[in-house]
Structure 1
Amino acid sequence: MGGTLAMLAHDIPLVIAGGDLDKPEIASRVAWTGAAVNLKTGTPTPAQVAAGFHSVTIEPSYRDAAARVGAQLRSLGGAARAAELLEQLAQPANQPTPRSGN
């Protein structure tokens, strides 16, 4: 997931494959956005990878979708914002968070 998010945060469309754990779910979700070709296997053939690469480099819809997803990811604030939200959740009611200075 980390590599997938890193690529999307830089507006890069993906050729994605995954056969176990959470990888098939991630592949399906990224393909659903239009930002990836999902090879639907954990063991793609060279021909499958080549065909997926051809699609994401030739068809502008993949680049457009990756740019849309990337813009949304960047607008959310990344790891710094996630840490800030976690710190807020960990604070007892009416206590200031270290970052907010309240």
Structure 2
Amino acid sequence: MKVQGLQSEMQAMMLEATNSRPAASGHTVGADFGNMLNNAINNVNGLQKSSGDLQMRFDRGDENVSLSDVMIARNKSSVAFEATIQVRNKLVDAYKELMNMPV
């Protein structure tokens, strides 16, 4: 996946999130968020699998895979994983803040 593709996908998700369509219920919004989160995690997983596959092919001597391809794929998967960790940390912090609110 190219960086431009990832950036355009993130912009499309931002536009979709800010779209002013009325939600039918909280359940629909929760399902949309769940699907979006699931897609993001699957994307990170795909990047990590691709990186591992390229590294294994390079280690086995595949002439079609260069060291730069392996390093780029590895850095992409690393950045995506770090971003996922940061999102998870923010969600946990928000949950803790909600739990500490007086009722």
**TM score, norm. by length of structure 2:** 0.28
Bigger relative contact order, structure 1 or 2 (CA pairs below 8 A, ≥6 apart): 1
Return the structure number with greater strand share.
1
**TM score, norm. by length of structure 1:** 0.29
